[in-house]
Amino acid sequence: MNILYLLVGVSLLAALFFLVLFIWAVKSGQYEDTYSPSVRILFDDDEVSETNKEEKTQVSDKEKK
């Protein structure tokens, strides 16, 4: 019977821990934008890929020197 008290206490502490993490995530803005991630895949990333190519070229030039 004593183990039940321990298990209930540990489970309440775990639940409280996850509740605190959830409240922190909500207050820090993790759930602010629910629309953009669903349509982000529809946008082309040509500009980003060009920027990445330029950065890779600069990095490889520096490595050669």
pTM of this structure: 0.51
Q: Quote the CA–CA distance of 57 and 50 in Å, as a whole number.
A: 11
Q: Quote the CA–CA distance of 43 and 31 in Å, as a whole number.
A: 21
pLDDT per position as a tens digit, 17-54:
999 999 999 999 888 887 887 888 888 766 655 566 66
Tell me the torsion sign for CA atoms 27, 24, 30, 15.
negative
pLDDT of residue 26: 93
Q: Which residue has the higher pLDDT, 55 or 43?
A: 43
29: alpha, beta or left, given left = phi > 0 and alpha = psi -120 to 50?
left
Contacts (Cβ under 8 Å, ≥6 apart) of 31 = 25
